[in-house]
Structure 1
Amino acid sequence: MLYSDTRDSSRQVSFRTAVMEGMSHKTGGLYMPVTIPQLSKSLVYRNPVPSFRDIAFETAKLYIEDEIPEGDLMEIIVDAYPFAAPVAPIDRTTYVLELFHGPTCAFKDFGARFMARVMAFFNRDENDPLHILVATSGDTGSAVGSAFHGVPGIDVTILYPTGRISPLQEKQLSTFDENVRALAVSGSFDDCQKLVKTAFTDESLREKLRLSSANSINISRLLPQSFYYIHGALLVHQRSWHDNKIDQPSLIVTVPSGNFGNLTSGLLAKKMGAPIRGFIAATNSNHTIPDWLSSGQYEARPSVATLSNAMDVGAPSNYERIAAMYTVEEARRIMAGYWLDDDGTMEAIRSCYDRTGYIIDPHGAVGWKAWTDTRDGAMSRLLAGFSVPEGMPGLSGGRDIAPEWAADCSAKKCIGMILETAHPAKFGDTVKKAIGREPSIPERLEKVLALPDRSVKMDADYTAFREWLLETL
């Protein structure tokens, strides 16, 4: 399997090179598989549904081929996933894919743990250390730090926007030691991401340091996230008839999105043959992608702070991958865009709890609201010619650009799978304000609260960042 540069398709590299480089240092582009492999029918139609690890192994083999022997790959899968992603039905046509059962209670654990073990495998014969640079808007950094902590031959530097993540998220980021360090950057996530991307294209720096990325810009973090889309979709289809008696339902996956790596993984899963009809790209007031779907024009912008901070991204890196896979016209046929402001997010946490008893985090709440609005009339109104006024939250677009599955939803033939990307305890204050009670906190999160802060303060200045890297690493 070869991987091409999104900015120069003639540049094609091996899986190992794509993983260890992180992104193309020649162009600043991202790596994508040249061809999308297909899942075997025996896997998709197996009854009962294969285990999460089996799906992970069979899917990973297609992308890695002979670059990692099958025995070593199975060891990587087993070690990476002592947990899975269960599906929780919360009403007759709605399922929540719970992605918070890993060590840092966020969906980033699925990609980070696989990536760490793959990188360690490829790095084992190297003499010089590999330096991972990662920008985070919330959960990525802690998942990457946890996944790489104590891994020999690899150092990790996490950049996060100070004051723009929840207190518990900051505790998870700022308390690492040994080979993992955290920089508290005065600025936004976009500032952090710009520092990382600039470092990757700094040839003189790369001559001194072996650099790679652990953001979703790294293909080895993106690909394993497709595992839970495939597994979740198969689980939902297996039980759907018993829940709602809908014959051949259209499964719509609602993805709370910031840097849009998670949604890109879902698009890959669909292309591979996962039984997914379409997607709702759900986000907060940083609605760059819904606006692109609506207008056809991509316009990056400065990010704004919201209650769903992991989605506070104004210039999502993975737009580049989505645009490499689809034209805007093709993307519109598959996905709908939706955005929600903070008031709507608080109301969504309340309404989900009141209607179903399920406690959802602010990111999943955006997904809940997007799905329930879509199935409860918003898509029908869109098809009838009524669109959301410009600048107002809701389902983006108009009748002429509605997705190909829109009529299915109007006919009540859709079922929904919402991605719950983080445990609600990571946003306990927000959840308590919404529903009047705090969510229970897992023991693995509670232990973090007693650890000391070891983060380093940093301005959003590349010269200062570069000097710090050279002095420290």
Structure 2
Amino acid sequence: VLFKGLAPDGGLYLPESIPEFDIAFYRSEMTYCELASEMIQPFVSENLTSAELMKISEAAFNFNIPLVSLTADLQVLELFHGPTLAFKDFAARFMARCMEHLLAEEITILVATSGDTGSAVANSFFGLDGIRVAILYPAGRVSSIQEKQLTTYGGNVTALEVQGNFDDCQHMVKKAFSDESIIQRRPLSSANSINIARILPQSVYYAWAWKQINTDQPITFSVPSGNFGNLTGGILAEKMGLPVESFIAATNANDVFPKYLQSGVFKAKPSKQTISNAMDVGKPSNLDRIKKIYNSSINDIRENIVSWSFQDDETRNAIQYTKDKFNYLTDPHTAVGLLGLEKYRQENKEHHTGIVLATAHPGKFAEVIEPIVGEKIVVPLQLQKAMEKEKNSITIPAHYSYLKDFLIDT
């Protein structure tokens, strides 16, 4: 499953069964790596020993995961302290180390990115023997820093600049996985959230956040959502016994999921360009997983997940408000998460602690944030170094034939 990415019929893999841990497990004293190893082990026990999984976890999750209190019942879980300063580092680094440990033959990793996935995958897989990476990203629809982060590695990492949107990139990647003429030539895998190995490690930080709150009460999680892999990780954590009051799927103007919850009928749309670009998705892949987990019951989904969409002006106002009220700087995606929690509280007078998942360092979006707050943002050193490097990408039209030619010819 790790190396296949997609199922043979083009569908997404899900575990046949989900282990459940009791509340005593979540209360017990553990490091983050110990928690990750315990939660993931039941899914990988046939392939990795406990000791091997612990070693992989220690190599993958070697950075801080602070929980910042804005108020007594409003917390921000900062998931952006990895090497590329985005939450995608958790899953990408875990996948890379699993593949490196289990790799039996050369493989090509295909990735579609709307922003942060590409840089996290490039960083995690760069220089690994036997693994080649091709990253498809939409031209003009990622930030300048994101583009530099994913186009400046070289070596075994190639960036393909697609003249289309993220949905075009994702469609091309999925089509490659069903193309026998490609698969017979070279093994393919995905590091997108269509790969279940991207989802499993993302369930862990929900449990870690709950442990830091030190409460017996359920917690509301507000999740900035685009392709819905992050939310799917949270749902798996709840199914594993974590007390959750509700999930908030906070989206930008790409509102297909809120409309799905309203109508019960999913209709894909062309993605719209927003300042929270990593969530510019009009056909989220992981919706299929969410439906399956809830047995395709729209009522069960509605009982556990609420969702709203927010426009760019609202996002800008949230960035300014959070800076003024809490002296806390947030990136556009996290701002959407804060808006989601605020909306939830307006509609639910009784509520428990709310945690917003902060998905990216604000320095990655300095060009968006600086005009809003009226001050210069200190950009972390690793981003400064990336900006100094030369962009190296291959431009292709948004047609599968061009990706196929690339895969065959290189």
Please indicate the TM-score interval, normalised by the length of the shorter structure: over 0.9
Partner of residue 349, structure 2: 410
Alpha-carbon contact 1:279-1:336 (below 8 Å) kept: yes
Residue 310 of structure 1, aligned match among 275, 278, 285: 278
Cα deviations across residues 21-65 of structure 1 (Å, max 9, x unaligned)?
0011x210000001111125442122xx42211111111112111
Matching residue within 338, 350, 362 for 1:424: 362
C-alpha contact 1:425 1:438 (8 A) present in aligned 2: no
1:469 corresponds in structure 2 to 407
Contact in 2 for aligned 1:349/1:359 (Cα 8 Å):
yes
Q: Distance in 1 between matches of 2:376 and 2:249?
A: 28
Separation of aligned partners in 2, 1:278 and 1:418: 12
Equivalent AA in structure 2 for residue 28 of structure 1: G
Q: Which residue of 1 aligns with 2:313?
A: 343
The structure 2 residue matched to 1:85, chosen from 46, 60, 65, is 65
Following TM superposition, the consecutive aligned residue runs of length 4 or more in structure 1 with deviations greater than 6 angstroms are none
Query: SS where residue 80 of structure 2 aligns?
Result: coil
Partner of 1:63: 43
In structure 2, which of residues 78, 82, 85 is the aligned counterpart of residue 105 of structure 1?
85
> Separation in 2 of the partners of 1:436 and 1:39?
47
Q: Secondary structure at the match of 1:280?
A: strand
Identify the residue that residue 124 of structure 2 maps to in structure 1.
Answer: 147
Cα drift, residue 451 of structure 1: 0.9
Q: Is the 8 A contact 1:234 1:275 kept in 2?
A: no
- 1:53 paired with 2:15, answer no
2:120 corresponds to 1:138 = no
The match for 1:324 among 279, 283, 292 is 292
1:35 to 17, 34, 43: 17
Matched, 1:444 2:377: no
What is the rounded CA distance, in whole Å, between the counterparts of 1:80 and 1:137 in structure 2? Answer: 23
Q: Partner of 1:395 in structure 2? A: none
Distance in 1, matches of 2:357 and 2:232, equals: 14
SS of residue paired to 2:270: coil
Q: Secondary structure at the match of 2:355?
A: strand
For 2:60, the aligned partner's letter is A
Q: Are 2:147 and 1:165 equivalent residues in the alignment?
A: no
Distance in structure 2 (CA, Å) of the matches to 1:438 and 1:234 = 35
The equivalent position to 2:3 in structure 1, one of 14, 17, 20, is 20
The answer as to whether partners of 2:5 and 2:196 remain within 8 angstroms in 1 is: yes
Deviations 1:58-83 (A, max 9, x none): 11112111311222111111111111
The residue number in structure 1 matching 2:258 is: 290
**Which residue of structure 1 lines up, in the alignment, with residue 101 of structure 2?**
121
- After TM superposition, the structure 1 stretch with the greater mean CA deviation from structure 2, 219-228 or 64-73, is 64-73
Instruction: State the secondary structure of the residue aligned to 1:32.
Output: coil
Tell me the secondary structure at the aligned position of residue 25 of structure 2.
helix
Matched-pair contact (CA < 8 Å) for 2:148–2:386:
yes
Give the equivalent residue in structure 1 for 2:56: 76
Deviations 1:147-190 (A, max 9, x none): 00011111000000010011101110111111111001000000
Query: Retained in 2: the 8 A contact 1:195–1:462?
Result: yes
Aligned sequence identity (%)? 44
Query: TM-score under structure 2 normalisation?
Result: 0.97
Distance 1:465 1:62 in 2: 37
Give 1 or 2 for the bigger CA radius of gyration: 1
Q: Is the 8 A contact 2:108 2:186 kept in 1?
A: yes
In structure 2, give the amino acid aligned to 1:349: I
Contiguous gaps of at least 5 residues in structure 2:
none
Higher relative contact order (CA 8 A, sep 6+): 2
Letter matched to residue 315 of structure 1 = K
**Cα distance in 2 for residues equivalent to 1:336 and 1:173:** 33
Which amino acid in structure 2 is aligned with residue 43 of structure 1?
A: F
8 Å Cα contact 2:182-2:407 kept in structure 1: no
TM-score by length of 1: 0.85
CA offsets, 1:413-468, max 9 Å, x none?
Answer: 32110000000000002111211123321111111111111111111111111011
Superposed CA offset, 1:363-403 (max 9, x none): 0000111112321x2x1xxxxxxxxxxxxxxxxxxxxxxxx
Q: Secondary structure at the match of 2:58?
A: helix
- For 1:119 and 1:168, the matched residues in 2 are separated by 27
What SS does the corresponding residue of 1:320 show, helix, strand or coil? helix
Name 2:242's counterpart in structure 1.
274
Note the 1:342-361 alignment, pairs <5 A: 342-361=312-331
Displacement after TM superposition at 1:249 (Å): 4.3
Q: Which residue is equivalent to 2:332? A: 362
* Match for residue 209 of structure 2 among 228, 232, 237: 232
The SS at the match of 1:68 is coil
CA deviation profile, 1:344-363 (whole Å, cap 9, x unmatched): 11001011111211100000
For 1:84 and 1:222, how far apart are their aligned partners in 2? Answer: 20
Amino acid at match of 2:349: S
In the alignment, residue 84 of structure 2 is paired with which amino acid?
Answer: T
Q: Which deviates more from structure 2 when the two are superposed, residues 49-58 or residues 317-326?
A: 49-58
Determine the structure 2 residue equivalent to 1:7.
Answer: none
- Give the superposed CA RMSD: 1.2
Maintained 8 Å contact 2:34/2:54: no
Aligned to 1:245: none
Shifted more, 455-464 versus 435-444: the winner is 435-444
Residues in 2 aligned to 1:56 and 1:80: alpha-carbon distance in whole angstroms: 10
User: Which stretch of structure 1 is more off in the superposition, 52-61 or 419-428?
Assistant: 52-61
